[in-house]
Amino acid sequence: MNRAERIPAGFSARAQIARTAALATVMLVIAVAVGRHASARSWLLLPAFWVFANFFEWTVHRFPMHRPLAPRIMYRNHAQLHHLAFADGEMAIDNPRELWLIMMPWYTIVMLLVAASPVAIAVALLGGWPLAGIFYVGALSYFVFYETLHALYHLQPATLARLGLKPGGLFARLQAHHAHHHMLRRMAHVNFNVTIPLADTVLGTRERPPRRP
């Protein structure tokens, strides 16, 4: 697959990153403002919201991203574009413009927060709107973590080395977990967590990549 043919002519990686970062920052400030009146004990629930986000990530990745469910846009963009562009070990981008094939559109963050709104409403009913603000702090910070980590997985090894991400550490193990998911024969079956493989481990879809000689 020729990656360049799939990228819109006017795409700018810097503009994409800037728009995503700006929107995430604005929404995170709003979420913190909503949650500022919550008790210190309520903020201790933030890790629990991250765990929820981990299972939410797994669910979205396994089903609409890898099953042709209506509407098929997530399946087309992920399984049919992203995976075919970076298949079977060809993980690294050759040009920053190829981030279009990796990063979600900047407005995706709004779509995901709307999708999670029933949970936020339930949290608000149980603990008040400040607790819902904390929930959205968790959701937004997790989204930024996901996008950052996913983009890093697809950078050239030399670029990762300049960033201090060298082989053998935790990042390398997480990258190998994701790279194994990119094997075309396994992509619809295993390693759906792009971040921490917690849900993969609990739900039995974690598959360790074979050791390389």
Question: DSSP character for 2?
Answer: -
Is the pLDDT reported for residue 14 higher than 70?
Answer: yes
Could you tell me if residue 202 is inside a domain?
no
> Model-level pTM?
0.94
DSSP annotation string for 22-46? HHHHHHHHHHHHHHTTS-HHHHTTH
Mean pLDDT of 71-78: 92
What confidence category does residue 71 fall into, taking pLDDT thresholds of 50, 70 and 90? confident
201 part of a folded domain: no
102 belongs to a structural domain: yes
Provide the mean pLDDT of the chain: 95
**Does 73 have pLDDT greater than 80?**
yes
Q: Is the dihedral of CA 52, 54, 60, 63 positive or negative?
A: negative
Is residue 103 in some structural domain? yes
d(CA 213, CA 199): 29
* Domain with 118 in it: 3-165
Window from 55-59, 85-89, 128-132, 134-138 with minimum mean pLDDT: 85-89
Indicate if the pLDDT at residue 64 is higher than 70: yes
- Which of 111-115, 143-147, 189-193 is least confident? 111-115
The mean per-residue pLDDT over the stretch 23-49 comes to 97
Residue 116 placed within a domain? yes
Is it the case that residue 213 has pLDDT exceeding 60? Answer: no
The token pair that represents 149 in the structure block: 């980590």
Over the stretch 122-171, which tens digit does the pLDDT of each residue have? 999 999 999 999 999 999 999 999 999 999 999 999 999 999 998 889 99
Q: Is residue 209 part of a domain?
A: no
- Identify whether 144 is part of a domain: yes
Q: Domain count for the chain, please give it.
A: 1
Q: Is residue 137 part of a domain?
A: yes
